[in-house]
Every structure is written in structure tokens, then in C-alpha cells.
Amino acid sequence: MTLSIKMLIAFVLLNLSCMSQSVAQRNSDNAGTQGIILSDVPQTVDTKARYLFYLHGYIVEAGNTRPINPRFGVYEYEKILETFKQGGFVVISEARKKDPEIEPYAAKVAGQVRQLLKAGVPPEHITIVGASQGSWIAMLASTYLENRNLNFVFIAACSADEGFLKMVNLHGNVLSIYERSDLAQSCQNYRTDATGISEWKEVEVNTGLKHGFLYRPMKEWVEPTIAWAKR
């Protein structure tokens, strides 16, 4: 075999090796953008992933993740989780037991977030999304964590009484979403009293569905939520 043929073979093998590495890298990158749904913080934390906590409304409970409201229809809890998963997030959510006391669960969520932060996840890669009662839990978690760089989305949040307002001191990057026809409206009062908000945005949607707009993964609230979590 002449020297030139040997050089040609070596060149071809080198190119094949580079192509193989390129394909492997693309596959790895694609795998990294695929979401997953968990009920708790994973034992092995990927510090490059984006984490999204979803805290559902009061109607959902352990053992019934597809409840029906006579006015608003089916609460599509699992479809909502799947939508966030398709957005590439590590989705952390569980169907809570019905309990009028929300402070213990807010403390639990705050503890889960601290686990991620301790493992090295940047706070900007963590978003806590709360819907209806879940938004009250998210507000308390924001108060407990006192971190100005975490992301929060409150959906149909602000219909609680003045006593709850006194319990809350919001921190982080906050997006409030409310429906024009719903009883829950603007969260400006919570913004006024807050001492730790880094960024604030409020979005009014107009679906005409009242509180039922949050029962399914509608683009009106899902798209701004995902955009906020991926800023």
C-alpha cells in the first residue's frame, strides 16, 4: 500500500470519527431538552436543566387528578403537566391532599427549591407556577425563600382576604396572570407591599371562561408562563 493511499484512508477514518462525535453531541443536546415529570426533586440533580414546579388548584386532590366542576368542566391536571414537559422542563408536581392549611405545603416547596439551589441549580432556572389555591402556596414559598432571582408565576391568584395579604412579602421575578371575567383580578396590592421583587409583569387574558380558564393548558396562560420561565 502506497503512502498516499494510507493517508487517504486515515483522512476518511478521521472524518468518520468527527461525524460520529457530531451526531452523538446532537443526540446529547436533544436529550437535554426533553422534559420529565416528577413528584419530588430528583436524587441526581442536573444543574443545567430548567425546573418548573406546578401547584394546582384546590379542586385537584390525591386520588382524583381529573376532577369535574359543574361550571368549569374538567381540570386537566395531567395535560397541564405534559404541556410543561413538552416545553423541556423538569416538572415537579404532586396532587395534594385537600387541606385548608397551606403554610406547611408552602414550606415543603420552599425546602425542595433549597435542595436544587444547594445542588448548584441557578435560581434563574427555577420557576414556581401556582394556579388558584396553588398560587397562594407559591406566594408563601416566595415569602419564605426570600430569593430575588427565582421565578414565580401566579395564575388567578389575588382573591384572598386582607389577612393573607399581610402574610405575604413577595420576592423574585414575578408574573401575575388573571382572567378579565374571573373574580380573581390584579395582584397590584401584593406588589405594592413587597420588598424583594426584582422584576414584575402582569398579564390580563380574555377568554370569557372565568375561573375555568386555568382548568386546561390554554395558550393564553401557558405561553407567557413558559416564556417567563425561559427568559
Residues 4 and 79 occupy one common structural domain: no
Residues 152 and 44 occupy one common structural domain: yes
The proportion of the chain whose per-residue pLDDT surpasses 70, expressed as a percent, equals 85
Rg value, the chain, Cα: 22
C-alpha 39 chain-centroid distance? 13
Alpha-carbon gap, residue 112 to 190, rounded angstroms = 24
Least confidently predicted of 17-31, 105-119, 150-164, 176-190: 17-31
Residues 100 and 187 occupy one common structural domain: yes
Residues 21 and 39 occupy one common structural domain: no
Residues 102 and 61 occupy one common structural domain: yes
pLDDT digits (tens, 9 = 90+) for 3-32: 454 444 444 344 444 443 443 333 333 334
In the 8-state DSSP scheme, what is residue 208? S
The count of structural domains within the chain is 2
Residues 215 and 164 occupy one common structural domain: yes
Q: Partners of 116 in the beta sheet?
A: none
Residues 183 and 208 occupy one common structural domain: yes
Residues 139 and 177 occupy one common structural domain: yes
Alpha-carbon gap, residue 178 to 18, rounded angstroms = 51
Residues 18 and 107 occupy one common structural domain: no
Residues 8 and 85 occupy one common structural domain: no
The proportion of the chain whose per-residue pLDDT surpasses 90, expressed as a percent, equals 81
Looking at the predicted structure, is the pLDDT value of residue 52 above 80? Answer: yes
Residues 61 and 170 occupy one common structural domain: yes
Residues 101 and 25 occupy one common structural domain: no
pLDDT digits (tens, 9 = 90+) for 29-50: 333 468 999 999 999 999 999 9
pTM more than 0.75? yes
Domain that includes residue 212, residue range: 35-229
The CATH number linked to 156 is 3.40.50.1820
Nearest to 217 by CA among 83, 24, 126, 45: 83
